[in-house]
Amino acid sequence: MALDNKQETDDYTRTRVPENKTVHGINIASIIVGIGVTLPTFYVGGEVAQAIGLSKSLWVFILVNLVLGVLCAITAIIGNRTRLSTYMLLHFSFGRKGTLFINFLIGVTLLGWYAVTVEIFGEALTDAFKHLLDVNVPIAVSIIVGSILMTLTAIFGFKIVERFSTLAVPLMIIFLVYVLYITIGSQSVESLFGIKGNDSMTIIEAISAIVGLTILTPVLMPDFSRFARKDKDSLISVLALVIGFPIILLAGAIPSLITGEIDIMKIMISLSLTIPAFIILVFATWTTNTSNLYSTQLTLSTIFRKQKMAKLGIIASAIGTLVAVIGIATHFIELLSVLSVLIPPISAIFIADFFFIKKQKYDLNDFDKLPAFGIAAIVSWILSCTVAYLAYFNYISLTSISFFDSFIVAFIAYLVLKKIIK
């Protein structure tokens, strides 16, 4: 899923976060959980569970988030020790201009998340109006209205909504636990785990989908952890992914299996939870997608520096809304599979650079001396993506999981090329 803490303060996007602005790890973890409680997360949880069954899904949810949690712990420590944003960290490996390309890729990814989320939001809004008021609102209208509200929030009032969202995290967790309680209570645990999947995707495809759902998190984790007081707080914040995300995915998976529905609002309607679900899930998705749009415009502002932030936000929103109306959510799982290949090499490269090449020494005084393009990083990224795609289509065989393929190849290739290219 899409994560970025640049919205915390624009003052420190290019500088180190001062010590007096740091917070406890629990504060950061609550933001991550709050962003995770969103409609696409429930959608993927239900999709995977219906495809491979609950028993296999549970293992996929736990193991994928555990592996990504380890990766997040490493990048979180980098952010904490440097106090720098991901945008600044990438300069040391990809170069001053090479970073712009990677930032553009991240911006497009965030915009894709925005489009997917606003489409699912629109469908939920339409379902709620139909059930509560017996009013048929076209999905396209719901998408456009939702997108306008999110855009206005991102441009004018996001900080207030984000703070409210953070305060609402305990309420969201209670709601999810309650949903799991009433759905599990309607059937025995044995019968739930006995439900077989429809085999619409393989285990490998399910893993790629879950990886794609959260793969931006390791890359953007420094944007969160640069505000952590100590390494310990960085690691505490990672627990939000390791523990929180499997629970959120299960909250989408179990009700989906019982009701046979993927659409979360239809599921909640069938469970007679329409009003609380509408209030909590819609608001949570609204704030999360506002975060996606705000992060998109911040990311694009590093590329199109002469354009005003508001203008970039409106343009990005218009493009995302158009894509949503067309119906990108029908290709959501494919999108996540692509992300599981393109994004992991980025984190692999700046991990290798920070710990093994620069020996944990990033000096901003040397920033202007950095090359325009980090040839080793760019070549490693292209090579790793190529190898992962060839493996994905069974032309070659590595680990059978595109995430591992792209990460390992990028990590090794970067270290080798840095030895060759002086």
CATH number at residue 269: 1.10.4160.10
pLDDT at 176: 78
pLDDT at 164: 60
pLDDT at 1: 52
Give the residue ranges of the chain where pLDDT is below 70.
1-11, 157-169, 422
pLDDT at 245: 92
Cα radius of gyration rounded to whole Å, the chain: 21
Q: Which of 49, 19, 13 is nearest to 261 (CA)?
A: 49
Torsions phi, psi of 262, nearest 5? -100, -35
Question: Is position 405 within any domain?
Answer: no
Question: Is position 10 within any domain?
Answer: no
Question: Is position 379 within any domain?
Answer: no
Are 45 and 253 a contacting pair, CB within 8 Å?
Answer: yes
Backbone region of residue 353 per phi and psi (left: phi > 0; alpha: psi in -120 to 50; beta: other values)? alpha
pLDDT at 166: 62
pLDDT at 191: 83
pLDDT at 57: 95
Question: Is position 416 within any domain?
Answer: no
Residue 309 vs residues 38, 112, 163, 312: alpha-carbon distances, Å: 25, 19, 21, 5
Residue 359, burial from CB neighbour count under 10 angstroms (0-12, 13-18, 19+): exposed
Residues in contact with 278: Cβ distance below 8 Å, sequence separation at least 6, in sequence order: 124, 128, 132, 265, 268
Are 38 and 285 a contacting pair, CB within 8 Å?
Answer: yes
409 vs 218: CA distance, rounded Å: 17
pLDDT at 159: 62
Residue 17 vs residues 227, 280, 305, 323, 416: alpha-carbon distances, Å: 7, 32, 22, 36, 32
Question: Is position 154 within any domain?
Answer: yes
Q: Which of 393, 415, 178, 150 is nearest to 284 (CA)?
A: 150
pLDDT at 6: 43
Question: Is position 403 within any domain?
Answer: no
Secondary structure string (H, E, C) spanning the chain: CCCCCHHHCHHHCCCCCCHHHCECHHHHHHHHHHHHCCHHHHHHHHHHHHHHCHHHHHHHHHHHHHHHHHHHHHHHHHHHHHCCCHHHHHHHHHCCCHHHHHHHHHHHHHHHHHHHHHHHHHHHHHHHHHHHHCCCCCHHHHHHHHHHHHHHHHHHHHHHHHHHHHHCHHHHHHHHHHHHHHHHHCCCHHHHHHCCCCCCCCHHHHHHHHHHHHCHHHHHHHHHHCCECCHHHHHHHHHHHHHHHHHHHHHHHHHHHHHCCCCHHHHHHHCCCHHHHHHHHHHHHHHHHHHHHHHHHHHHHCCCCCCCHHHHHHHHHHHHHHHHHHCHHHHHHHHHHHHHHHCHHHHHHHHHHHHHHCCCCCCHHHHHHCCCCCHHHHHHHHHHHHHHHHHHCCCCCCCCCHHHHHHHHHHHHHHHHHHHCC
pLDDT at 221: 92
Question: Is position 395 within any domain?
Answer: no
pLDDT at 157: 60
Question: Is position 107 within any domain?
Answer: yes
Are 403 and 207 a contacting pair, CB within 8 Å?
Answer: yes
Q: What is the pTM of this model?
A: 0.86
Total count of domains within the chain? 1
pLDDT at 333: 73
Residue 291: give the domain boundaries. Answer: 23-343
